[in-house]
Amino acid sequence: MRLRLLLIVFMYFFVNLAVAGDEVGGLSTPLNTVDGKTLHLADFKGKVVLVNFWATWCPPCLDEIPDLIKLQKQYADRGLVVIGIDYMEKPDKKRLTGFIDEQGINYPIVFSDERTIQALARSLGGVYALPVTKLLNRDGKVAASHIGGLNFSEMRAMVEPLL
């Protein structure tokens, strides 16, 4: 029994250290956007970053898009960056590009391989449902996390104290 408990404790710390120390998924991980650019969350230190994990098949995710567009327009000049992370979808860049154009999305959409996206999600505290919003402060630390859809007022209430 004691050995089993010791093994569980060891595995817990070992896994957490491996995830925390792993470059894949951290702020310096290269993330590919749909428009062919590469970004790193570390590039946005000094700014407030709202990271939204979403999918085109997720109704609450789709409901958030107009408010995310509005939030990006209203607060970009105060240091807010909105980044969308296409999550749990089959890779279809052409369809996703058409969707982005159709919706008028004005913020970068990350479209990277599944391993990179999963590691990024873990490094930000995990994504266990959609949509998920992670708010990073100007130091790149997770300041807030929300599971489920948000409306513009709720997004504004999360963001404004950090601007």
Q: Mind giving me the DSSP string for 70-132?
A: HHHHHHGGGTEEEEEEE-S----HHHHHHHHHHHT--S-EE---HHHHHHHHHHTT---SSSE
> Whole-model pTM?
0.83
CATH code at position 57: 3.40.30.10
Q: What is the pLDDT of residues 130-161, one digit of tens each?
A: 999 999 999 999 999 999 999 999 999 999 99
Answer whether 131's CB lies under 8 Å from 52's CB: yes
User: How many distinct structural domains can be found in the chain?
Assistant: 1
Q: CA 133 to CA 15: how far, in whole Å?
A: 24
Residue 7 sits in which domain range?
A: 2-162
pLDDT along the chain (163 residues), means of 10: 40 37 65 94 96 97 98 98 94 91 97 91 95 96 96 98 97
